[in-house]
Structures are given as structure tokens and as C-alpha cells.
Chain A
Amino acid sequence: MSFISVFEVLGPNMIGPSSSHTAGAAAIAFLAQKMLAETVEEVDFILYGSFAKTYHGHGTDRALLGGIMGFNTEDERIRDSFELADAKGLTYSFSVDEEEKEVHPNTVDIRMTGTSGRKMTVRGESIGGGKVQITRMNSVKIHFTGEYSAVIVTHQDRPGVASHITKCLSDREVNIAYMRLFREDKGKTAYTIVESDGALPSEVAAEIQKNPYVSEVVVVEP
């Protein structure tokens, strides 16, 4: 059994009222905007399961919108996120999907468009106690939690890319906690996600980017 820290008992520090419906929602949206890696201009949230049923009374909507604006789970601006989003000119919508049953009870799909026109859809699940997992990026099933520093590399599914990524990291003495490859079909677009124990050196992204099959590198720090 993995170590349970005293701060998992006395924590998270969070905007109420619910660790799963409020804090978890903010955490998912916060990670999503980090993955987009630019300011979100337009966002649609599709809510499933218990999120779909009770999102308003739990402030799930405010928490999601706050997270998209880069507020973390402790940020008291979450309470006013509608007003703040309007003031920033961020376009947003919420819809519910109560038909889909094959999802975790607290699931949200976040469709984002950034200031450069870049688009991305991220699916997140709030799994209790404020903990979350990202389970989908565009149409590909992925998995990461945001608890560690992570690099998300978008690349073509070709031999040598994985070893290039590992080399870039080991050259800088990064201790890899997890490394996984996610892909839809063999030979097409793939995502490699590496989670590391400590913070990642700033030049790592540029180094990984040098491989010709790599199209994008995003670093997500917790």
C-alpha cells in the first residue's frame, strides 16, 4: 500500500463545498488549460453522471470555469468565476449528457479553443477526496493525475521516439516515475506521457522537440 501523507488526511486545502464536485472539478479544468498550454478563449463543458445531476448546487460549474482561467483549488476567486470570465471575454457553455452511462460518475469533457485557435478536448474524472485523473486527450485514451511533473509529447508513432525522450530526460538526471505511450492506431499520432519525481529542467521541452517525429511538447507542473 502506498504511503498516506498527513496532508491527505488534513487536506486538500480547497474551496468548498465538495472535494469531489468542487475541488476535483477545479483541478481537472486547471490541468486541461495547462495541457492546452495557452489562454483559453472558448470552452464547452459536457458533464456526466453525478456531475450532470448536481453541478449547480455544488458549484461544479464555477470550479470548472475557474480552473480553466488558471485558478487552483485553493483560489477564492472561484466563487466569482462567472463574473471574472465575463469580464475577460471568455466564452463558455455547460451541457449535460445523462444518456452516457459508461463513464465514471464524476466525469467532464472539456472542449477548449485557445487564443491561437488551437483546439483540444480533454476528459477528466474526479475520483474522490479532490483527486483527479485525465483519461482522454482528443480521441486518445490517456492517463495522468497531475500529482507529478509531467511532459506530454505528441508525436508520430515511429521507432526511436521513446528512446529519444528517455535520453533527453536521463541526460538531465530526471528521475522517471512513470512513462507510458498512448495511441489510437499503430503508426499514427501517439502521446507519450512521462511523469517525474522532481520538477523538470526548463530546457527539456526544447530538447525533446528536436526529434523530427515530435510535433509538440507540453510540460505540466503540479
Chain B
Amino acid sequence: MYEFDCAKDMLGLCEKYELPISALMYRRELEGTEAGEEEIDGKMSRALEIMKHAAHSPIIQPKKSMNGLLGGEAQKLDALYQTGKAPCGDLVSRGITYAMAVLEVNASMGLIVAAPTAGSAGIVPGTLLALQEIYGLSDDALLSGLYNAGAIGYLAMRNATVAGAVGGCQAEVGVASAMAASAMTELMGGTPRMCAAAASTVLQNMLGLVCDPVGGFVEYPCQNRNAAGVANAMVASELALAGIPQLIPLDEMMDAMYKVGKRIPPELRETALGGCATTPSACASCQGGCAGN
């Protein structure tokens, strides 16, 4: 009844049942698994709790990453924000701080929720927690946001890919950002169609982004890209909320992203054989321990 396999059908069901994407996704989950409401609610609350902890703990207590490339970025961003001089404004500033914090936790063997992957795990929580802080949203609103984001991520998993090794960073950070854009749009009062338009916009704006982690480890430039993913999500959501329609529907952008991903050469799909990973400075930082030398 609530199952869908493309954005077009998802929007059709939202209209048929007069539901936002989040509620449709929630009902789909109940219908498709044996778990009851209590179990599902418990799992999602736990995910939110882990996200909150990961977004906040490095601000107080920075941790060096496993390969030493990260550590302390979230605290620096927070310090700038506290001076009142963060140029991007409150929402973006908080969002990028939390997103980078989550990647710092991930890279130092802390607990995170893959969303949809570990490398892109900062974008959805960063965006949602910034919205909560700046606009005073409840935890229940954030939980709905997670279902909405989950719907977009599900479509990418089903019809394209969310693996950097298969489709490049556009499939990881790009999809995470599309998820966040859609969730934000719903939480800010947008319609399901606006949500899908926001997600489509992000995929356009991140199309072709390669996966080129220094040393082959999920640290750098991954963390920077999580910050960019938040900003991209917020920009796309604002376009959608202004009522700007998108020529290209989400399903077509998913397909375009997948096709582009398959044409990205293997050197630029997580193998650390190109892009940022093979710049002279990156190689120097690697001290010969790099995965793809």
C-alpha cells in the first residue's frame, strides 16, 4: 500500500493519502518489516541520540583522527561562531560545525550513524540539528525529518548507488545532501513536491564530484565536503521553498547521477589514485603509508 520505487510514485502516494514524505516513509517501514511502532520508534530515537552526541562532543573534547589528518575543526568553528562574527550566518554556521564534528568522531573511531554512509554521516544530522537550534524545532520534528531524509536515501540506494567506490562522492555526499535538503524543506513547511525539487537541485549541484580520500581513509577532504553538503542542502531548500520549480525531476537526476558515477574512472572512485589524494601535499602527508601508491 505504501511501497514506492521512484520519486514519482512517492509523490503520487503523498498526494493520494495526503501525507508528507516523512509519514509515508514511516508507514512504509511499518508495512514492510515485522517490527511494530514501538521498536521502530525506539530505533529512530536511538539514531537521533547518537547523532546529537557525535555532533556535540568534539566541540568540547576534540579528538585526533586515526591517520592524524583531522581533529579540532568543530571546536574552531564553534569558537568563531561564539564571537558573533561567523560570516555565513547562524543556520549555516551551526550546520557546518555539527557536520564536521560528526566526521571528526567517525575518523577517531567514535560512534556515528551512517547516513547513508560513514563518510557522509555529518550532513543529515548537521542540517537537522542546526534547524532545531535556530528555529526551536522539537525532537519529534527531527525524527520526522529523518524519515523524510530516509525516503530520499532509499530511492538512491534502490535506483542508483550510495557507495563512493561505485559512483564517486556525488553518490555519498551528494545523496546525503539531497536527503538533508528534502528533510529541511518539509520541516520548513514545504510540500512533498518542493522536497523532491530540493533533492533534485542538490544532485545537479554536486554532479560529478569524485571520491579521492587522502591515503584511502575517510578523513580528508571528506570532512570539508560534509560542510559543503550542509550548505548545498540549505541553498537547495531555500530555492524550493521560494517556489522555484525544477525542470529535471528527482528520478531523472538520480539516473543522471548514477550514469555519471559509472563513467568516473576507477582512479577517482575511492582508490586514492587521483584527485585530492595524489596532490603533492597529500602524498607528502601520507609518509608512504598510503593505500594506492
Contact = CB atoms under 8 A, between A and B. Distances in A.
Interface string A19-50: 10011000000000000000000000000001
A19 B33 contact: no
A76 B110 contact: yes
B262 to A, nearest CB: 17
Nearest to A59: B109
A211 interface: no
Given A6-B29, A13-B46, A13-B50, A54 B110 contact: no
In this complex, the interface size class of chain A, counting residues with CB under 8 Å from chain B, is 35 or more
Contact of A19 (B65, B66, B114): B114
Given A5-B29, A7-B43, A57-B66, A16 B108 contact: yes
A56 B108 CA distance: 13
A86 B124 CA distance: 38
Given A6-B147, A59-B66, A76-B110, A13 B217 contact: no
Interface in B148-162: 149-151, 153-154, 157-158, 162
B116 interface: yes
Contacts of A128: 163
A55 B46 CA distance: 29
Contacts of B65: 17
A10 B29 contact: no
B-side interface size class: 35 or more
Nearest to B51: A10
A14 interface: yes
Given A1-B158, A128-B163, A16 B107 contact: yes
B291 A54 contact: yes
Nearest to A9: B153
A4 B156 CA distance: 11
Interface string B99-136: 00000011111111111111101001000000000000
15 contacts: A3-B3, A4-B154, A6-B146, A6-B147, A6-B150, A13-B112, A16-B109, A16-B218, A18-B119, A18-B218, A23-B114, A23-B118, A54-B216, A74-B111, A76-B110
The 4 closest A-B pairs by CB, nearest first: A16-B106, A9-B153, A6-B150, A79-B109
